[in-house]
Amino acid sequence: MKRLYRSQYERKIAGVCGGLAKYFSMNPTIVRILVVVLALFTAAFPVIVGYLIAAAIIPNEKDVSAE
């Protein structure tokens, strides 16, 4: 079963983009570029709020693998 986690190793801030990239089998750099482009076209506020919510809700890969 495929699950979404924040990446433990492909992280710059909280690992959300790295986790999304792993979930969708993409390069993390491409996901980060897409997030920046989305932030530029939406005045950044919705993307920042969404990122913070995702960082709070999505479990960390290390925490889940320890169970």
Digit-coded pLDDT (tens) for 23-37 = 999 999 999 999 999
Domain boundaries, the chain: 1-12+38-61
Dihedral angle, C-alpha 27, 31, 33, 38, nearest 10 °: 160
How much is the average pLDDT of 5-31?
A: 90
Burial class (CB in 10 A: 0-12, 13-18, 19+), 5: buried
Nearest-angstrom CA–CA distance, 16 and 65: 17
Closest CA to 52 of 4, 15, 11, 20: 15
- The pTM assigned to this predicted structure is 0.81
